[in-house]
Chain A
Amino acid sequence: MAETKPVLMQGNEACAEGAISAGVRFYAGYPITPSTEVAELMAAKLPELGGVFIQMEDEIASMAAVIGASIGGMRTLTASSGPGFSLKQENIGYAIMAEIPCVIVNVQRMGPSTGVPTAPAQGDVMQTRWGTHGDHPIIVFSPASVYETFYLTIAAVNLSQKLRQPVIMLLDEVIGHMREKVLIPEAGKLLVEKSSDNVPADWKPYDEKGLTPLVPFGFGHYYHVTGLFHDQYGFPTGDPPQVERALDRIHGKLEKYRDEIVLTNYIGHKEPRVVIIAYGCTVRSARAVVKKAYWQNRLPVGLLSLQTLWPFPDKEVAAIAKQADVIIVPEMNMGQIVGEVERYACGNAEIVPLNRYDGEMISPDQISELLGRWL
């Protein structure tokens, strides 16, 4: 991939630019801080590209419109923050059930409720996982930089298309509003994965044999789309074996492509005693700590950063827990991912949460201080 144009941009802009690069041509949204810039940029750019920008009457309608446009065959995006993201949940569940691709951006703000609209927090991690009702699979990416935001948004769009599965971009307010350099590939140089155009005559929207690409409405395949449990043609069913099969189907596709979905990155000592597991903007503070402790002072320290939060990087965490004595989990919330880390560490390492929930970032000093106890 030729990366030629270095551009200084905001995280929210990178999200919009990434989506456009990945072929997104439909955006529906509703104004909310701190994600509004995504909508504003889409409003400016999509019409020039022949795409559709529409400001809907509320967050629920935005989510609905995005699903409608996806069924029409467009690649779609919507963005929101905390309270607005809560409102989208029912229709996110619909998209999961009906296997309609779409990407939803949640630029987190401090909650609960209206909270502190302009303060950063990582309080929505569990909402991205369990915000909509019922047993459902979900994919959630959490970028740590503007650059990562751009590329993870592209990955989100492509995965969403390939798996016919909603993907959530979970941004921190800090990432959304920070300005950094991004190397934007030349137009046309970026790989936009296309789902197959060759649709067999016996195409079924929810084929029992496995994943099939979505054939948009209006091309003579008269299938049904519903949020009810459905058979392979999309028609409602309450038959227990079919219900079970349908639920296994939507979970199974994420399991099958697990290694494409779950993205993590490790830096630091090869045989670490203390590992920091972080995501989002907290990765930045953790990286500063590891740079000093490992690169300068050669201490047995490492950082496992999670670009994918859900499905949770279980194998990666289990492996690191076997190496490390201690795992520190800094989060700008009262402890959400730390429970998952504990679950997959299986008692092989001591898990130490580091929480901050006053609307400020976790500083490198805070992490270093804690780290000092074991080194």
Chain B
Amino acid sequence: MEQLTQDFLRTKKLPHIWCPGCGNGIVTAALVRAIERAGYNQQDVVIVSGIGCSSRAAGYLNFNTLHTTHGRALAFATGLKMARPELKLFVIMGDGDCSAIGGNHFIHAARRNIDLNAVIINNHIYGMTGGQHSPLTPTGMKATTAPGGTLERPFDLLELARGAGATFGARGNAAQPRQLEQLISRAANHKGFSVVEALSQCPIAYGRRNKLGGAVEMLREMKDKAVSVEKASTMDVDELKDKTLSGVIYSVDAPEFSEEYYRSIGKA
């Protein structure tokens, strides 16, 4: 795999704060490669993030970076995009950050179809606070706040976004970083609200408690479970049980909000 562009990393800020074996670094690297691949000018790119382990990624990336409040990254990004529609915004969130406290902003960003690229690092847990269950924790899995396993049912994040109006939804994982990079760059090229769910491992606050092994075992399972959209179309329901779809799940065209706004006021 080729080296990351040093320009896009704040090498002085490394080493990062993440635990050994954490998937956040893999997803962040895929994001940086995707930005490189898209060929954007460094000064046009903005990284916005929420609060949590994953959101610390913003601090390591050499762009204009905005580390916001818990759950509110998309709302900050909406303001910035409307003020400066020429900027390319990538919004990094964690699963709890995006779908619990930030759920309202998530569905409304989707509804507006504003051109933001949401990258949700889904490790099924609140890592920074030590392992509480999130709306994306699968039923039955253990967390500090669900010691007997959570009774709650998880969201399907991409279907939630689609229902709310998102025009691009893709799922990748930390075990297949090449594919993830491609998915993020396709999301970047898509005009409108795009969602990339990046499945990732948190061996410390999730893996250990649920006896999933270390990072290697978790990554192996992630890879085994992943089935591409193309392959899935040849499989039946039974075969697809316990599998996760990966690839571009949907991509449709619809009017993009910031462009429509500026057109409506005669400035586009």
Checking B44, B78, B82, B108 against A218 with a beta-carbon cut-off of 8 angstroms, the contacting residue is B44
User: Roughly how many angstroms separate A65 CA and B81 CA in the complex, as a whole number?
Assistant: 9
Partner of A217, one of B62, B66, B108: B66
How far is it, in angstroms, between the C-alpha of A72 and the C-alpha of B261 when the chains are bound? 17
Q: In the bound complex, do residue B108 and residue A57 qualify as a contact, i.e. CB atoms below 8 Å apart? A: yes
Measured between beta carbons, the chain B residues less than 8 angstroms from A57 are: 75, 104-105, 108
The reply to whether B267 and A50 contact each other, CB–CB distance below 8 Å, is yes
User: Is A236 interfacial (CB-CB < 8 Å)?
Assistant: yes
Contact yes or no, B66 A68, CB < 8 A: yes
CB-CB under 8 A from A225, the residues of chain B are 65-67
- What is the bound-complex CA distance between A49 and B59, given in angstroms? 36
Which residues of A sit under 8 angstroms from B68, Cβ to Cβ? 64, 94, 227
Per-position 1/0 for B12-46, Cβ under 8 A of A:
01000000000000000000000000000011101
CB neighbours (8 Å) of B58 from chain A are 224
CA distance A65 to B74 in the complex (A): 9
* B243-262 near A? 1/0 per residue, CB < 8 Å: 00000000000000000010
The yes or no answer to B64 lying at the interface (CB within 8 A) is yes
- Cβ proximity bits B96-113 to A, threshold 8 Å, 1 near / 0 not: 000000001100100000
- Residues of B contacting A74 with CB < 8 Å? 83
| A61 adjacent to B59 (CB under 8 Å) | no
The answer to whether B69 and A90 have CB atoms under 8 Å apart is yes
The A contact surface, by secondary structure, is mixed
* A72 touching B83, Cβ below 8 Å: yes
Please name all residues of chain B whose beta carbon is closer than 8 Å to the beta carbon of A218 when the two chains form the complex: 43-44, 46, 64, 84, 86-87
CB of B71 to closest CB in A, whole Å: 8
Write the chain A residue with the least CB distance to B66.
Answer: A225
Interface centre among B63, B66, B86, B87 (most CB of A within 10 A): B66
Closest CB of chain A to B128's CB: distance in Å?
12
Judge whether A68 and B78 touch: CB under 8 Å: yes
Q: Are A72 and B63 in contact (CB under 8 A)?
A: no
With a CB–CB cut-off of 8 A, which chain B residues contact A219? 43
Contact partner, A224, options B67, B78, B87, Cβ 8 Å: B67
Contact digits for A53-85, partner B, Cβ 8 Å, 1 yes 0 no: 010111011001111111111101000000000
Q: Is B216 an interface residue (CB 8 A)?
A: no
Which residue of B62, B75, B267 is within 8 Å of A68 (Cβ)? B75
- 0/1 interface trace, chain B 224-268, chain A, CB 8 Å (1 if under): 000000000000000000000000000000000000010011010
Counting CB contacts under 8 A, is B72 at the interface?
yes
A257 on the B face (CB < 8 A) = no
Contact with B along A74-116 (1 / 0, CB 8 A): 1010000000000000110010000000000000000000000
Give A48 to B266 CA distance when docked, in angstroms: 9
Within 8 A of B (CB), among A220-234: 220-228
Given contacts A218-B44, A222-B62, A236-B59, contact A65 B75 (CB under 8 A): yes
Q: Decide yes or no: A73 and B83 within 8 Å by CB, A58-B104, A65-B75, A218-B64 being known contacts.
A: yes
Question: Is B148 among interface residues, defined by CB-CB distance under 8 A?
Answer: no
The reply to whether B67 and A65 form a contact with Cβ atoms under 8 Å apart is: no
Tell me if A68 and B105 are in contact (CB < 8 A): no
* Chain B 43-67 residues near chain A, CB threshold 8 A: 43-44, 46, 48, 58-59, 62-67
Q: How far is the CA of A226 from the CA of B82 in the complex (A)?
A: 20
B151 CB–A CB distance under 8 Å: no
Q: Which residue of B lies closest to A94 (CB)?
A: B69
- The distance in angstroms between the C-alpha atoms of A58 and B78, with both chains bound, is 13
Bound together, the chains give a CA A235 to CA B14 distance in angstroms of 12
User: Closest CB of chain A to B265's CB: distance in Å?
Assistant: 4
Question: Restricting to A10-39, which residues have a CB under 8 Å from any CB of B?
Answer: 26, 28
List of A residues within 8 angstroms of B86 by Cβ: 218
Which of A50, A61, A223, A226 meets B72, CB within 8 Å? A61
Query: Which residues of B are found within 8 Å of A90, using beta-carbon distances?
Result: 69
Whether A339 is near chain B, meaning CB under 8 Å from some CB there, is no
Are A47 and B69 in contact (CB-based, < 8 A)?
A: no
User: Told that A56-B78, A222-B42, A224-B59 touch, could you supply 14 new A-B pairs with CB distance under 8 A?
Assistant: A26-B83, A47-B265, A48-B265, A57-B108, A61-B72, A65-B79, A69-B82, A70-B83, A72-B87, A76-B79, A217-B46, A221-B64, A222-B65, A227-B69
6 closest Cβ contacts across the A-B interface? A68-B79, A65-B79, A72-B83, A64-B75, A68-B80, A61-B75
Residues in B lying within 8 Å of A, measured CB to CB: 13, 42-44, 46, 48, 58-59, 62-69, 72, 75-84, 86-87, 104-105, 108, 261, 264-265, 267
A-B contact list, 10 entries, CB within 8 Å: A50-B265, A64-B69, A65-B82, A69-B80, A70-B79, A72-B83, A217-B80, A218-B87, A225-B66, A225-B67
